[in-house]
């Protein structure tokens, strides 16, 4: 995994000092090596985390007038090598960077149709620029336009370091306060800085400017397999995806929460390894202050221990103390370049730091709930809303704003508009029943929005600690197959993810196969809550705080002084009062740290 930065020089010369500074903001993404290439029309910067072909994978990589900077991994290498062999193209080493460069030289944009992996890259052929991102957005990529030239980077901070300005307009505030901590496809909270959408390619040239094309769309087809056949196929496809994603010239490890998804991955990895380190996260006071709810019936650590003992891994149960959890609320903002999922981000970063002491690569279970219908909004009718079911309590979000921004932003309409556009994109069959259409639409929304946010969070927090995380449940073929599997197979016998459970019956230990789904843990610590309250109170001591500009501060004070919990989470399944207060704290810190200017 790496960090990449690119600027075209068709209209303006590159400021080399600023360009190198922009690249240096990504040192955490690639601490092993760096490389630069400056040609007449192109500027390339690369920060490398060495994982495949440590000797020969240096970047930028060039063959005559073709140049490539690349962040990611390809998982169907043998197939791709076969494509080149059929064209009599030879490979001088086993670097996947060289493989990708020669594929692009041979097939140009058509090469994207053949890739299965996680990636973001910039490839230039003479004066043509190709910018592409993987199908589901596992790897990040952003761009802006500077005097008709394009500037591309793995993270927004690199763009900000070059442009020297951070501006948020009305749309950005709607993203921050309405969609946040998720975001709309292709958008960021910053004016004129955009995310390249997953599954898209941007082509740029002086003669044609910027052109977009969507190279990957979920394919729909009539589903004919029986339940038993589907169970077998899921097991085989997921096993193959896990095995392919174990390929590395350095050792791999696994996230292991004790939930079904990470337990499956850890079990299969261990079956194909001589040894394995597994890692889980927990919070100070969580056992003491734990209170069961609809989503968390029992703490994770007991189940992680059972799985580790059953498979024979060396398990590391990482516990983050409250002081560190609070401290890393700031670090999480700096890694994400905007407010995020608060303690859930902080703990992920801390866990990644601990993994990095042992490994550069880890496999994780993200995306399983999206593709196997694991979330409660898939099967609980009362959870179904007219808009994104994880953006909850929108009315309360609006009530926190002051009169000016409540009227100006109109968050409810903004969210609804984004939702309506997304629904129209969802591929369905004319022959689908109404239930199947609803399920596919919800699956599409989860894949394109909720999953994208979790993948973004996982990349940013783990790359912040210089480790690469691979997500087998995001395998292109597996996701597309499951998109077409009937809902009645996924939610069977009133059991969420029944299809996945049956696929790994007698492979993963029974206690986990039959365990109710449990989300990534949050802090239950009373002490942590009090610390967050104190942080927000301190923010309010500064009358120049952005909290006074955007919010009804009396409502925030009421929230601080109330002993009542929010009846409905404001985001996701678990993010209630403490997380909302921490988000307000992150907003205050972000505006000050990034010197953000609001454009009215």
* Residues known to be catalytic: 2
What is d(CA 479, CA 489) in angstroms, rounded to the nearest whole number? 15
The SS3 of residue 257 is: coil
Q: Which residues contact 532 (CB under 8 A, 6 or more apart)?
A: 326, 578, 581, 582, 585
* Cβ(162)–Cβ(20) below 8 Å: no
Q: Which residues contact 534 (CB under 8 A, 6 or more apart)?
A: none
What is d(CA 55, CA 45) in angstroms, rounded to the nearest whole number? 19
Taking the CB of residue 290, how many other CB atoms lie within 10 A of it? Answer: 15
Structure tokens at 150: 């394009």
Packing angle of the helix pair 411-425, 434-445 (nearest 10 deg):
120
Residue 125 burial by Cβ neighbours in a 10 Å radius (0-12, 13-18, 19+): middle
Taking the CB of residue 275, how many other CB atoms lie within 10 A of it? Answer: 9
Please state the φ and ψ torsions of residue 59, each to the nearest 5 degrees: -135, 160
Give ∠ CA 49-54-59 in degrees, rounded to 5. 65
Structure tokens at 337: 């370049």
Sheet with 194-195: strands ordered across: 33-38, 42-48, 2-8, 149-153, 142-146, 194-195
* Chain center to CA of 76: 22
SS3 percent helix, strand, coil of the chain, rounded to 5, is: 45, 20, 35
β-pairing verdict for 597-598 and 167-168? parallel
Between the alpha carbon of residue 300 and those of residues 242, 294, 305, 489, 504, the distances in Å are 23, 15, 9, 27, 19
What is d(CA 556, CA 548) in angstroms, rounded to the nearest whole number? 10
What is d(CA 92, CA 204) in angstroms, rounded to the nearest whole number? 30
């Amino acid at each position: 995994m790496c960090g990449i930065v690119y600027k075209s020089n068709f209209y303006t010369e590159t400021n080399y000092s600023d360009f190198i500074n922009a690249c240096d903001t990504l040192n955490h993404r690639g601490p092993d090596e760096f490389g630069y290439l400056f040609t007449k029309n192109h500027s390339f910067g690369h920060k490398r985390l060495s994982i495949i072909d440590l000797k020969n994978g240096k970047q930028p990589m060039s063959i005559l007038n073709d140049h490539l900077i690349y962040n990611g991994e390809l998982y169907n290498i043998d197939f791709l090598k076969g494509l080149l062999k059929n064209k009599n193209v030879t490979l001088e080493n086993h670097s996947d960077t060289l493989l990708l460069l020669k594929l692009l030289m041979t097939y140009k944009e058509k090469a994207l149709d053949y890739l299965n992996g996680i990636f973001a890259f910039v490839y230039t052929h003479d004066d043509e620029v190709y910018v592409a991102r993987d199908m589901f957005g596992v790897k990040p990529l952003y761009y802006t336009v500077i005097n008709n030239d394009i500037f591309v980077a793995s993270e927004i901070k690199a763009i900000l370091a070059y442009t020297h300005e951070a501006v948020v307009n009305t749309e950005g505030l709607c993203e921050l306060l309405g969609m946040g901590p998720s975001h709309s496809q292709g958008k960021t909270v910053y004016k004129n800085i955009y995310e390249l959408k997953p599954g898209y390619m941007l082509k740029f040239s002086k003669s044609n400017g910027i052109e977009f094309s969507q190279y990957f769309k979920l394919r729909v087809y009539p589903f004919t397999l029986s339940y038993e056949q589907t169970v077998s196929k899921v097991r085989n496809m997921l096993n193959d995806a896990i095995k392919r994603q174990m390929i590395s010239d350095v050792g791999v490890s696994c996230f292991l929460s004790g939930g079904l998804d990470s337990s499956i991955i850890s079990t299969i990895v261990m079956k194909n390894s001589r040894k394995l380190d597994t890692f889980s996260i927990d919070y100070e006071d969580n056992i003491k202050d734990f209170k069961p709810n609809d989503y968390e019936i029992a703490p994770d650590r007991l189940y992680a221990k059972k799985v580790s003992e059953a498979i024979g891994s060396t398990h590391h149960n990482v516990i983050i103390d409250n002081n560190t959890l609070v401290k890393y609320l700031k670090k999480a903002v700096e890694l994400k370049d905007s407010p995020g999922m608060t303690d859930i981000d902080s703990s992920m970063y801390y866990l990644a730091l601990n993994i990095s002491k042992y490994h550069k690569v880890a496999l994780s279970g993200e995306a399983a709930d999206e593709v196997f219908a694991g979330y409660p909004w898939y099967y609980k009718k009362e959870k179904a809303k007219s808009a994104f079911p994880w953006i909850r309590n929108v009315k309360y979000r609006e009530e926190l704003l002051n009169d000016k921004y409540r009227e100006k932003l109109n968050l409810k309409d903004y969210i609804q508009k984004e939702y309506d556009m997304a629904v129209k994109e969802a591929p369905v069959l004319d022959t689908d029943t109404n239930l199947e259409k609803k399920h596919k639409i919800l699956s599409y929304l989860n894949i394109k929005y909720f999953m994208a946010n979790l993948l973004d969070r996982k990349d940013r927090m783990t790359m912040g600690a210089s480790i690469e995380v691979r997500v087998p449940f995001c395998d292109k073929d597996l996701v597309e197959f499951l998109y077409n599997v009937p809902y009645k197979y996924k939610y069977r016998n009133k059991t969420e993810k029944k299809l996945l459970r049956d696929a790994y019956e007698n492979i993963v230990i029974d206690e986990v196969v039959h365990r109710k789904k449990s989300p990534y843990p949050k802090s239950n610590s009373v002490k942590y809550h009090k610390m967050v309250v104190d942080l927000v109170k301190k923010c309010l001591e500064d009358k120049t705080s952005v909290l006074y500009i955007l919010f009804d501060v009396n409502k925030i004070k009421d929230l601080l002084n109330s002993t009542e919990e929010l009846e409905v989470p404001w985001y996701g399944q678990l993010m209630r009062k403490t997380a909302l207060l921490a988000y307000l704290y992150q907003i205050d810190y972000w505006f000050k740290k990034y010197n953000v200017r609001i454009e009215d």
